[in-house]
A and B are shown apart, each in its own frame.
Chain A
Amino acid sequence: MEDKKLLEIKDLKVSFFTPAGEVKAVDGISYSLGYDEVMGVVGESGSGKSVEAYSIIGLLQSPGKVIGGSITFEGEDVLAFSEEQMRDFRGNKVSMIFQNPMTCLNPVYTIGNQLTEAITCHDKSVSKEEARRRAIEMLTLVGINNPEKRMNQYPHEFSGGMRQRAMIAMALICKPKLLIADEPTTALDVTIQAQILEVMKDIQKEEHTSIIFITHNLGVVAEICDKVSVMYAGKIVEQGSVNDIFYNPQHPYTKGLLASMPRLDQDTHEKLIPIEGTPIDLLDPPQGCNFGPRCKECMKICLSKKPPYAQVGDEHISACWLHFKGNREE
């Protein structure tokens, strides 16, 4: 979108060293995110979409380890941050909301207490009253009625949707430039999901926060994202604008995903076209393309060599040997 990039990730590799062997959860992904941009990361469970996000914000837990690549945030090398710098970075510049808000809120503190703590932690000069005022303002912004009363309540007194709103308020209270949302609506019902998505869209418009939106729900992506990365087994297989991905998908996995999902607005009853097979075992990845064993258009080369990226449009890339087929025949 803009020339200056907020976040740049180059060839990031994250592995988990388990007793059974090395699991390459994220295997060389690169992307950049501009200011005021919303990127969706789509993938199945185990595709590495959450791990990648955790490594940006430094929450990767043992036995997970970043083993290669770089993460640059506004020109600064995130991976080189000391523990103290990281603490300042988290919350102030990047914050995160998680799938299950109940496990992220402290059950023994009031919501108000947890919100004001987030402010005073980062800026000791803020007075108690000022922090409280800002917390109430934030709760109003995310659509919580009666914020003064809600401030004194505990997480268990909130419903699921309300807790997720409180989480969003907490994540945005220090006005970060980047918000990472890890499946924020997966645990919620559709009507509540719709409410939360509206809140996130409104806030994005108002505060111009960039968002990385991790989900497996393509419908949600279509609604909120500007661009999309499709992940499969630790790699980004296709990346492009939301229109590229939905109207002109190039990678067989993306095509397969779109074809396998029933659509509510279809008025014909056609059979779904499933992606056959099961996701690969990351402990024993194939030599060639990770998607090769399940791909309908799999060729010989796909089983022996990893496919490089092909530029299939402006800012639209896809990692598949099919794009190179024509070239080689010429």
Chain B
Amino acid sequence: MEEAKKLLEVRNLKKYFPVKTGAFRKKQYVKAVEDVSLDIYKGETLGLVGESGCGKTTLGRTIIRLYEPTSGKIVYDGQTIYDSENHIAVDMLPYRRKKQIIFQDPSASLDPRMTVGEIIGEALDIHKLYPGKAERRERINELLDAVGLNTEHSNRFPHEFSGGQQQRIGIARALAVDPEFIVCDEPISALDVSIQSQVVNMLEDLQEKLGLTYLFIAHDISVVRHISNRIGVMYLGSLVELADSFELYSHPIHPYTKTLMSAVPIPDPDVTRARQRILLEGEIPSPINPPSGCRFHTRCPYATDECKERTPILKDYGNGHFAACHLLEKA
């Protein structure tokens, strides 16, 4: 992984959403993504896990600039596509061809009034690919075939399909423009258990065949661990740990990751009942007024005064195992 080429470089990325709260409609900000830095290498799958509201979806969307970042820097394949310091914000259209996204809810992300063929073909028209009618049709059929649907499905409407098939249409649409990088935003959480594994396998096959790079966002840690090479753990907008996916489960070093890993039930009665579970007190604080210092200190069993004052920085603790915690700095 060390020699692998960096496809995406994200530095100190922030995304704040303005909200008006309270009786006086005071303008405040939801700090959805706070100072996140990470690299994504060519051909890998980087998983992103965390609880709802931790900013993993926002991060995924901000990276491909579906949301305009508040500040930070994004470098894609050697070219800076956003840099708040130097006021760089390039036109995204040529990059949209390279960076695609698969959304969580397939029924909501497919236009109900367009046929499957139109949905997939729309991207081809925007980027002026396959201009000939026959070529275009052939490409659509090729894509449908790649995701395991029949070519005659292209004249049907999304509601005629099951959830799993709708997600396949969403994947075909993302693949239409021959992207290099795909953000998979909870692509399987809306699907039934027996269908989930079909889609996971298909995503893995497509990656192998087309040399894709994935950012795989999901709250189901077992699935993320299965599909990813490396996993990042987010808590309240910050990246708290980033490591190889096997390493992260066997040797988590951040207190939050330890809790998260121990909370996942394992489908094996003996194993799961014998496990020591670390229970967290309380709930996730509001991202409008996040705790000072380390954002996890209000729930962390090892928190010290230092954690309340200073924000820990993400550091490498060997073999690309990154974590942000004051305790580790001392050890």
Q: A residues near B, CB below 8 A?
A: 44-45, 159, 161-162, 189-195, 197-198, 216-223, 242-243, 246-247, 256-258, 260-265, 267, 269, 271-276, 278-279
Q: In the complex, what distance in Å separates the CA atom of A197 from the CA atom of B280? A: 13
Q: In the complex, what distance in Å separates the CA atom of A258 from the CA atom of B262? A: 20
B227-285 interface with A by 8 A CB criterion: 227, 246, 249-250, 259-269, 271-273, 277, 279-280, 283
Contact residues in A for B271 (Cβ distance below 8 Å): 222, 265
Contact residues in A for B262 (Cβ distance below 8 Å): 194
B280 and A263: CB pair below 8 A? Answer: no
**B273: contacting residue among A223, A260, A278, CB under 8 A:** A223
A269 and B51: CB pair below 8 A? Answer: no
Binds A, one of B23-31, B101-109, B121-129, B189-197: B189-197
B193 and A257: CB pair below 8 A? Answer: yes
A-B contact pairs, 21 of them (CB 8 A): A44-B193, A190-B51, A190-B260, A190-B263, A190-B264, A194-B277, A198-B279, A217-B265, A219-B266, A219-B267, A262-B197, A262-B222, A262-B223, A265-B249, A265-B266, A265-B268, A272-B226, A274-B201, A276-B198, A278-B164, A278-B195
A263 and B268: CB pair below 8 A? Answer: yes
B245: nearest chain-A partner, CB-CB: A269
A272 and B197: CB pair below 8 A? Answer: yes
Known A-B contacts: A44-B192, A222-B265, A261-B197. Give 15 more (CB < 8 A).
A159-B283, A189-B219, A191-B260, A191-B280, A192-B283, A219-B264, A221-B267, A222-B271, A223-B273, A247-B269, A257-B193, A262-B197, A263-B266, A274-B200, A278-B195
A189 and B192: CB pair below 8 A? Answer: no
Q: Can you list, as one digit per residue, whether each of B46-67 has a CB less than 8 Å from chain A (1) or not (0)? A: 0000011000000000000000
Contact residues in B for A273 (Cβ distance below 8 Å): 197
**B51: contacting residue among A191, A197, A267, CB under 8 A:** A191
Query: How extensive is the interface on chain B, given as a class?
Result: 35 or more
**B221: contacting residue among A195, A197, A264, A275, CB under 8 A:** A264
Answer yes or no: B225 CB below 8 A from chain A CBs.
yes
B204: nearest chain-A partner, CB-CB: A271
Chain A to chain B: the 6 pairs with minimum beta-carbon distance, closest first? A219-B265, A262-B226, A274-B197, A194-B263, A260-B197, A218-B267
The total of interchain contacts (Cβ-Cβ below 8 angstroms) comes to: 127
Q: In the complex, what distance in Å separates the CA atom of A192 from the CA atom of B261? A: 13
Residue with the greatest number of chain A CB neighbours at <10 A, chosen from B193, B196, B219, B260? B193
How distant is A328 from chain B, measured CB to nearest CB, in Å? Answer: 29
How distant is B300 from chain A, measured CB to nearest CB, in Å? Answer: 13
Contact residues in B for A242 (Cβ distance below 8 Å): 269
A260 and B269: CB pair below 8 A? Answer: no
**B193: contacting residue among A161, A260, A267, CB under 8 A:** A260
Q: In the complex, what distance in Å separates the CA atom of A197 from the CA atom of B198? A: 29
**A272: contacting residue among B192, B200, B246, CB under 8 A:** B200
A217: nearest chain-B partner, CB-CB: B265
B272 and A219: CB pair below 8 A? Answer: yes
Answer yes or no: B155 CB below 8 A from chain A CBs.
no
Answer yes or no: B79 CB below 8 A from chain A CBs.
no
Are A223 and B272 also in contact (CB < 8 A) when A272-B201, A273-B197 are? Answer: yes
How distant is A97 from chain B, measured CB to nearest CB, in Å? Answer: 18
Residue with the greatest number of chain B CB neighbours at <10 A, chosen from A198, A223, A264, A271? A264
Contact residues in A for B197 (Cβ distance below 8 Å): 260-262, 272-275
Contact residues in B for A221 (Cβ distance below 8 Å): 267
B249: nearest chain-A partner, CB-CB: A264
Are A261 and B222 also in contact (CB < 8 A) when A190-B263, A274-B197 are? Answer: yes
Answer yes or no: B304 CB below 8 A from chain A CBs.
no
Q: In the complex, what distance in Å separates the CA atom of A256 from the CA atom of B197? A: 10
